[in-house]
């Protein structure tokens, strides 16, 4: 009996057309983009929250359930062996995608939030104590603030915060002054989810290491938009979520230098993270398995692997070029609207395809609901960056348009048409 998984759709077919991307071909691979909202063609501009999924990812996950559904690492039968192979091949694919030195440095988790919490719980409590300091920045997502607040409260350490400029960029001179022998850990986002600022993480990491501090990078907004190589960055930990890079929800990874992972205690206890168990003593499996207790998100890992293969087939240089062109065009068009204020960095060499903005006289939610009536999906609120909004932008909330590879200039034109209608209110 043949129980192998059938092949999934090719991720390399007809995506490139001449010197650039064939956007029509790409859009056809995302089934959801063909739908309508309120009898209007969908314009999806909420990619910083989650990206849509190509057919290759959907088919890979369905193929697992149809042909290879079994648990991993525990059975010798054909189905379990196949599931284990797919799961560990997924780890290998992700390790290659981010430039990890070994698949053993890739821990599968539910997403970037769990990855950061894992680092804080398992590494932080081992290495941070009374009188020590943890540094974060003003532009962090809540998921890269709250775990460190909890760590500091539990250990007697202090949380220090790097300010940012009016242009939404890190003030590196202030960061340098915060670093000291008391600094044990620095945590920052590679790309700000609220502003789109691409932080100089290489320099931040180098400066931290000069003081003996470890660095945790929140890469949730980065992996889909910039070329990430954790080996070249020399970060100690790197976290990202699958759903922001074409993959499914409920899967992500924590990259950690192997020496750190080997020294860290387990994250959770249960099956699959053990080597031996007696009532007197338990020994743990080697990293990364000791951090993956219980039945893992097997189909999520398979979907994530297919997602990174899809992105690699597109080519990161093509993705970056397209996104920067869209962002430049969108900024220019949005500046035609009198009531709109665009916030944060506008230097495209330091920015991803995220445009935070506000409309004079209207709440962010009102603006988003008006856009929704025209089938245009944007984000409203404080984008899980409440300190940034209240202390830096001096706003309770903002709107955010965010772009990805399947978005077009025509969609931006439709968006701006609606903004101009709002302009007249």
- pLDDT digits 0-9 by tens, 39-68: 999 999 999 999 999 999 999 999 999 999
Domain ranges across the chain: 23-54+315-423, 66-312
Model-level pTM? 0.94
Average pLDDT for residues 267-290, to the nearest whole number? Answer: 95
For the stretch 364-395, pLDDT in tens is 999 999 999 999 999 999 999 999 999 889 99
Q: Which stretches of 182-270 are assigned E, i.e. beta strand?
A: 183-189, 214-218, 237-241, 252-256
Q: What are phi and psi of 148, to 5 degrees?
A: -80, -30
pLDDT at 20 over 90: no
DSSP secondary structure of 144-197: GTHHHHHHHHHHT-EEEEE-B-TTS-B-HHHHHHH--TTEEEEEEESB-TTT-B
Closest CA to 330 of 417, 265, 248: 417
pLDDT of the residue at 74: 85
pLDDT at 110 over 90: yes
359 within 8 A of 340, measured Cβ to Cβ: yes
Average pLDDT for residues 201-205, to the nearest whole number? Answer: 98
Q: Is the peptide bond before 208 cis (omega within 30 degrees of 0)?
A: no
Average pLDDT for residues 332-358, to the nearest whole number? Answer: 94
- CA separation for the pair 53, 33 (Å, rounded): 10
Provide the annotated active-site residues: 384
387 within 8 A of 145, measured Cβ to Cβ: yes
For the stretch 328-343, pLDDT in tens is 999 999 999 999 999 9
- CA separation for the pair 300, 249 (Å, rounded): 7
Domain 66-312 has CATH 3.40.50.300: no
351 within 8 A of 196, measured Cβ to Cβ: yes
Domain 23-54+315-423 has CATH 3.20.20.70: no
Is 36 exposed, middle or buried (CB count within 10 Å of its CB: 0-12, 13-18, 19+)? exposed
pLDDT at 221 over 50: yes
- CA separation for the pair 319, 227 (Å, rounded): 10
């Amino acid at each position: 009996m043949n129980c192998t998984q059938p092949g999934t759709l090719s991720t390399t077919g007809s995506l490139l057309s001449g010197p650039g991307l064939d956007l029509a071909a790409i859009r056809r691979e995302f089934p959801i983009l063909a739908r309508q909202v309120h009898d209007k063609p969908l314009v999806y501009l909420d990619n910083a929250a989650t990206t849509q999924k190509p057919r290759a990812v959907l088919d890979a996950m369905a193929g697992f359930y149809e042909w290879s559904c079994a648990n991993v690492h525990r059975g010798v039968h054909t189905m379990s062996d196949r599931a284990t192979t797919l799961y560990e091949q997924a780890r290998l694919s992700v390790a290659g995608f981010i430039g990890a030195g070994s698949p053993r440095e890739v821990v599968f988790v539910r997403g970037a939030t769990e990855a950061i919490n894992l680092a804080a719980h398992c590494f932080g409590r081992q290495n941070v104590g009374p009188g020590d300091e943890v540094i974060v920045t003003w532009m962090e997502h809540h998921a890269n603030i709250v775990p460190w607040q909890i760590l500091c409260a539990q250990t007697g350490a202090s949380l220090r915060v790097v300010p940012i400029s009016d242009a939404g960029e890190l003030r590196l001179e202030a960061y340098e002054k915060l670093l000291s022998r008391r600094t044990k850990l620095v945590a920052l986002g590679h790309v700000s989810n609220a502003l789109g600022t691409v932080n100089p993480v290489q320099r931040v990491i180098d400066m931290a290491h000069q003081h003996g501090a470890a660095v945790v990078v929140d890469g949730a907004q980065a992996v889909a938009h910039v070329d990430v190589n954790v080996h070249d960055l020399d970060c100690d930990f790197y976290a990202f979520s699958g759903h922001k890079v074409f993959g499914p929800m409920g899967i992500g990874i924590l990259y950690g230098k192997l020496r750190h992972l080997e020294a860290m205690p387990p994250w959770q206890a249960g099956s699959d993270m053990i080597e031996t168990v007696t009532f007197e003593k338990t020994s743990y499996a080697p990293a990364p398995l000791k951090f993956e207790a219980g039945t893992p998100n097997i189909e999520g890992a398979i979907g994530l692997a297919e997602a990174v293969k899809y992105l690699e087939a597109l080519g990161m240089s093509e993705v970056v070029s397209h996104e920067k062109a869209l962002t430049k065009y969108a900024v220019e068009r949005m500046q035609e609207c009198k009531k709109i204020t665009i916030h944060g960095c506008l230097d495209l060499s330091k920015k991803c395809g995220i445009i935070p903005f506000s409309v004079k006289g209207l709440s962010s939610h009102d603006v988003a609901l008006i856009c929704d009536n025209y089938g245009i999906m944007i984000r409203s609120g404080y984008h899980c960056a409440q300190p940034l909004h209240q202390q830096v932008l001096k706003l309770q909330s903002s709107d955010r348009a965010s772009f990805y590879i399947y978005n077009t200039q025509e969609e931006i034109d439709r968006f701006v048409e609606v903004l101009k209608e709002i302009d007249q209110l």
